[in-house]
Amino acid sequence: MSAILIISGGTGASARQLVRTVLAQFPNAEVQVEIAPLVRTSDQLADVMAHAADSRALVVHTLVDVTLRRALAALAQAHHVVEIDLMGHVVDQFAHHLGQIPLGQPGLYRKQNEEDLKRIEAIEFAVAHDDGKRAHELAHAEIVLAGVSRVGKTPLSMYLATLGWKTANIPLIKDIPPPAELFQIDPRRVVGLTIEPGQLVIYRQHRVRRMGMTSLPTYTEAATSGEELEYARAVLRRGQFRIIDATDKPIEETAQEVLNLVRPWS
């Protein structure tokens, strides 16, 4: 079996993707791909290159530090190791074209894109934990919204996720106990949502029409909605959770109220 060792000053993710892309052209090859991440000193590099020599690996690297790149080339020659520089030539060409000196600092791409990566992760989390799904993972949520059906939990969860907050939401349904995990997490991360019964009825009637149904009496009755809201408030009081009234509020305003409650404890 052949071996390929990826050496990176960061996580090695970009080099791994390229290596896997190339290896797809060799479907019958048995190759072990190993990553040596966060290599940022000459001592680390010496140890990694010694390992590469022992395992007779092809070295692929994305080091942006010029000194380390030169040291790697020298060590590769000394150990009779073949090395492929995926970064150096490209950086040099960019420097020439742009007329600027590169910073030579590893991990800058991830730092610059950390906000986008966090937002994507938060959106994936919100989708996976919508409407009470995977309640056993509530401890991993930064914000947990709780309330009755059609109070606006899902759109608010998604909006908060686009701001980078991992948000889960739990439906509070009369006569069905909420998940025990809701009362086991820090109550300061839980925000209850309530709404005026009349507006809740309108939202529910609109949902029924969108579903192509003429009516769903128990779901759209004012009395039922009022009972469910009172049940939800009782659950929220039991958990000592803060409550926000979402009546006639745009989602941006409600989200800001949620963050004003949660941010001091995050």
| Higher pLDDT among residues 150 and 112, named by residue | 150
Q: Domain of 193: which CATH number? A: 3.40.50
Same domain? 141 vs 221? yes
**DSSP code, position 178:** P
Based on the fold, state whether residues 24 and 81 are members of the same structural domain. Answer: yes
Tell me: do 258 and 180 sit in the same domain.
yes
Is the domain of 93 the same as that of 132? no
Per residue in 128-185, pLDDT tens? 999 999 999 999 999 999 999 889 999 999 999 999 999 999 999 988 999 999 999 9
CA atoms within 13 A on the CB side of 195: 26
Tell me the pLDDT band of 256, cut-offs 50, 70 and 90.
Answer: very high
The sign of the CA dihedral 60, 64, 65, 70 is positive
Are 81 and 168 in a shared domain?
no
User: Does residue 103 sit in the same domain as residue 123?
Assistant: no
Q: Are residues 55 and 176 in the same domain?
A: no
40-71 CB burial, b ≥16 within 10 A, e <16: beeeebeebbeebbeeebbbbbbbbbeebbeb
Of 77, 112, 147, the domain-final residue: 112
The beta strand positions in the chain, using DSSP E, are 2-7, 31-36, 58-61, 83-85, 143-147, 167-171, 190-194, 242-245
Instruction: Give the pLDDT of residue 61.
Output: 94
pLDDT digits (tens, 9 = 90+) for 22-45: 999 998 989 999 999 999 999 999
Range of the domain at 228: 114-265
Total structural domains in the chain?
A: 2
Note whether 51 and 178 are same-domain residues: no
146 and 51, same structural domain?
Answer: no
